[in-house]
Amino acid sequence: MDNLAYDQILLDHGSGGKLSHALTRDLVLPHLSNDLLDQLDDGAVFDLKGGRLAFSTDSYTVDPLFFPGGDIGELAINGTVNDLAMCGAKPLYLSLALIIEEGFPTADLERILASVRESANAAGVKVVTGDTKVVPKGAVDRIFINTAGIGLVDTGVSVGGHLARPGDRIILSGSIADHGITVMTQREGLAASDALASDTASLNHMVADMLASSKNIHVLRDPTRGGLGTTLNEIAQQSRVGMRIGEAKILVRPEVAGVCELLGFDPLYLANEGKLIALVAPEDAPEVLAAMHRDPAGQEAAIIGEVVAQPPGRVILETAIGGERIVDMLTGEQLPRIC
C-alpha cells in the first residue's frame, strides 16, 4: 500500500493526481468502502423514493482533534446525522470533505477515518461521496471536516422551529454542557475530573422512536453551539412564543457544574453534541418521554418547562432558589472551535 510509504500527508496527496488516488484507495476506501463510494465518480448517484427530503451541512473545526468521549471524525458524522434527525428525517446518505494541512500525521488521519466509519455504522448512514484537499503548512490548523447529509421525512411528520405552541412541554434528553466543558478543559490543559467526557452521539434512532410514539412533536432541535439557552431563544423567536423553564429540572453533572463554577461558565450556553430538545403537545409528552427513556441517549430525559404565549421571544428561568431571570441568547464567544 502506497500510504505506508508516508507517515505524513503531503501536498501531493491533494494534487488530484497519483498520490491523491493512492490516498483515496489506500486510506479512505479501506475504512469507508461501499458500492456507491467505490465508484469514484464526481458524485454519488442512487435511487430514492420520492417524498420529503431533508438536506443539511456542517463544518467541524474542533480543537483538540481527539478528546475524552470522541474525536472530530465522530463529531462530523453525529453532528450532521443529528441535524437531519432534528428535521424529522431518517438520515441516509452523507458526504465527507476533508481539508488537511500538509504534514498531518497519516496515523491520525487513519484514526479519524476509523472513527467516521464506526459512527456512520452506529447511525446507520452511508458516506457515499467525498473530497480531499491538502493545503500548505499554516493554511489550516491540522484538519477540518465538512459533512453534508440527505434524509427522508416520513409522511405526516412536520417539525420545525416555527411550530412551537403555548402549552407545549419542553423535553430535554439529558445533562447539558458535557461536550463544551470537556473540549475546553482538554484544550486549555486544565486539570479536570477524569469523569468529564463529550456526550457526542447520534440521536436519529431515538428520534425515530419518538416520532413513532406521537404525531404532536412540534419542534426538535439539538443545542450545540450556543447551548440550551441560545437554542431555546431561537425557537421562541421563530415561533413567537415565550418559554418558562425550571433550573432545578435541568441536569448538569456535578463534575461539569464544578468546572463551570470555578471558571465562570454558564452551562446554559455550553455546547452539547448528543442532546436534543423536543417541544411536544402536553397530552403526548408522557409517550414521548417513555420512548426517550427506552433509548440509551434518552435515559435521563425530563420535562424542563413549557411554552407560554407571553411575552413572545422571551425565555424565563425559574431559579433553584425561587427567583426568575431572563435567559438571553449567547452574547460574545465563550469557546471558539468547540465543534
Task: Tell me the three state secondary structure of residue 178.
Answer: helix
Among 34, 35, 105, 141, binds its own copies (CB under 8 A): 141
Neighbours of 226 (CB within 10 A): 20
Shortest separation between residue 130's beta carbon and its own copies, angstroms: 7
Out of 9, 23, 44, 241, which residue is the one contacting its own copies (CB under 8 A)?
44
3-state secondary structure of 314: coil
Q: Please select the residue that binds its own copies; options are 230, 241, 265, 280, rule is CB under 8 A.
A: 230
Task: Out of 20, 186, 193, 216, name the contact with its own copies by CB under 8 A.
Answer: 20
User: Residues 69-108 vs its own copies: string with x where CB under 8 A?
Assistant: -------------xxx-xxxx---x-xxxxx---------
d(CA 280, CA 301): 13
**Residues 21, 54: contact at Cβ < 8 Å?**
no
Q: For residues 141 and 261, which CB has a smaller minimum distance to its own copies in the complex?
A: 141
Least distance (Å) between residue 9 CB and its own copies: 12
Figure out which of the listed residues 5, 107, 139, 212 binds its own copies, where binding follows CB under 8 A: 139
| Cell numbers linked to 276 | 436534543
Is 226 a binder of its own copies (CB under 8 A)?
A: yes
Nearest distance, CB of residue 248 and its own copies, angstroms: 25
Binding test (CB under 8 A) with its own copies, winner from 6, 8, 12, 286:
12
Helix (H, G, I), strand (E, B) or coil at 3: helix
Phi and psi, residue 245, nearest 5°: -125, 155
Locate 327 and state its grid cell. 435567559
Edge-to-edge strand list for the sheet holding 302-308 = 217-221, 277-280, 169-172, 302-308, 242-246, 315-318, 324-327
How far apart CA 260 and CA 267 sit, in angstroms, is 7
Give the DSSP H or E segment for 291. helix 285-293
Tell me which residues in 150-209 interact with its own copies (CB under 8 A).
Answer: 150-151, 153, 160-162
Among 5, 18, 154, 190, the residue binding its own copies under the rule CB under 8 A is 18
Least distance (Å) from its own copies to the CB of residue 165? 17
What is the footprint of its own copies within residues 254-313 (CB under 8 A)?
Answer: 269, 271
In the bound state with its own copies, the residue whose beta carbon lies nearer, of 35 and 283, is: 35
| Residue with smaller CB distance to its own copies, 29 or 290 | 29
The three grid cell numbers given for residue 148, joined into one nine-digit string: 453534508
**Distance between the two ends of the chain, CA-based, in angstroms?**
33
According to CB under 8 A, which residues from 313 to 332 bind its own copies? Answer: 328-332
By beta-carbon proximity to its own copies, the closer residue of 140 and 290 is 140
As a whole number of angstroms, the longest Cα–Cα distance in the chain is 67
